Amino acid sequence: MPRHSDGVVLSNWHTLFEEFSTSTQDFYRAVEEAVDRRNLPDVRISRVYFSEGGVGSAKREYLRIERQRIVFDICSAPYGKGHFFSWWLAKVPAKYGLFVVMALLLGFLFGWFLFEGIVLQIFGYGCSGIAISALSFFVGIPAGFLILGVGVERGLIGDEEWVLSIPWVGYLYYVVFNPVSYFRLDTAMMFRDSIRSAVNEVINDLREEKGLRLLGDEEFRPDADEGEATA
């Protein structure tokens, strides 16, 4: 699947209704209301603008519905005598993740080196000083990373999306604190299906108002597998 300005597209659905017209803004508001009625947790709604082409080209407004790093970018636009509808399901990277989490890690390492210096000043470089220094290395650093990981996982320090965006560190955090589970997969599918249902509902409401046939499940089927649509 292609990339867009935010991340990697996982799947797409689109249709063009000939001899059909509606208001783009009214459609976006109707979808927002349909989503609000579903009372979905951890969901944010906004408007985003993507360039129609290269640098300096005009921008088109999309309705964005997001949960963590998974987004639906929904388009409604007139085309000739018809009207075009689409949505793009995409996974976007966390913003500023590398810089923020690396700052936390560097702060932790600085604190550890400072502690090591204090230990060596107090106990010297004899057996006791070296033993305490080695103990702090083999116990203190893993314990410190564990405390940081728990803090991030519980939302007390930084942001989980920042951590997950860092190579190696993100994978280690993913394995220890955020592994794939039935709960995560089911929640991702509930979000995906709820937003698709809201969009489908609004589109069929528009068709019904104009006396047109309602679209069925096959006509609403996306163009690609959505198996990676987990945050």
Q: What DSSP assignment string belongs to 25-54?
A: HHHHHHHHHHHHHHT-TT-EEEEEEEESSS
Q: How far apart are CA 192 and CA 201, in angstroms?
A: 14
**pLDDT tier for residue 100 given thresholds of 50, 70 and 90:** low
Single-letter code of the amino acid located at 150: V
pLDDT digits (tens, 9 = 90+) for 48-77: 988 766 666 678 899 999 998 889 999 999
- 85 membership: H or E segment, kind and range: strand 82-91
Query: Considering the chain, what percentage of its residues have pLDDT values greater than 70?
Result: 71
- Which range of 1-10, 28-37, 140-149 scores highest in mean pLDDT? It is 28-37
For residue 84, what are the β-bridge partners?
16, 77
Domains (ranges, CATH) in the chain? 8-93+187-212 (3.30.310), 97-164 (no CATH)
pLDDT score of 79: 93
How far is it, in rounded angstroms, from Cα 85 to Cα 63?
A: 11
Among residues of the chain, what percentage have pLDDT more than 90? 39
Summarised one tens digit per residue, pLDDT across range 137-193 is 666 667 767 776 776 666 566 666 667 766 777 777 777 777 778 888 899 899 999
pLDDT of residue 226: 56
> Do 229 and 89 touch, CB atoms closer than 8 A?
yes
Q: Supply the pLDDT for residue 183.
A: 87
